[in-house]
């Protein structure tokens, strides 16, 4: 995608809060795009679009982490210290996506949130998987 060309992957590793903002922005974009493209059933499409948007960023972070681990010795818990920045960037990107979905599900009126997250809520309340 074009946005990965604007910022280097090392920038996200050194500033995990920027990964939070990036996850937030991608999920907002994914929600609106899913609502625009699939107005009848946007919930699962929004999750899929958000994941697709984050794939190049996460891939760049993982590749950079592999280069770092190839140059450093990591034994036992040293793996966590070597990959600390990569893990934090991934965690903050997840928290950005989670925050977006939490805000949209609580701030929107009940009818709008029910429509936007219909498939996700049906799994939560057990209206799917009725096989006997």
pLDDT tens digits, one per residue of 66-116: 776 666 665 556 767 777 888 888 899 999 999 998 888 888 777 676 667
Domains of the chain, residue spans: 3-124
* Per-residue model confidence as pLDDT tens digits over 4-43: 667 766 777 778 888 899 999 999 999 899 889 988 888 8
pTM: 0.76
Query: E strands within the chain?
Result: none
C-alpha to C-alpha distances, 53 to 49, 88, 97, 112, 127, nearest whole angstrom: 6, 19, 11, 24, 29
Distance CA 102, CA 107 (A): 8
Q: Which residues contact 9 (CB under 8 A, 6 or more apart)?
A: 57, 60, 61, 63, 64
């Amino acid at each position: 995608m074009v946005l990965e060309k604007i910022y280097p992957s090392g920038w996200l590793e050194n500033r995990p809060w920027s990964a939070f903002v990036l996850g937030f922005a991608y999920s907002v974009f994914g929600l609106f795009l899913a609502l625009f493209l699939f107005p009848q059933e946007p919930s699962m499409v929004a999750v899929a679009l958000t994941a697709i948007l984050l794939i190049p960023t996460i891939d760049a972070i993982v590749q950079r982490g592999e280069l770092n681990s190839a140059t450093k010795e990591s034994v036992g818990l040293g793996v966590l210290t070597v990959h600390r920045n990569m893990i934090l960037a991934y965690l903050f990107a997840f928290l950005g996506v989670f925050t977006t979905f939490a805000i949209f599900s609580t701030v929107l009126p009940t009818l709008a949130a029910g429509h936007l997250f219909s498939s996700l809520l049906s799994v939560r309340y057990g209206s799917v998987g009725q096989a006997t």
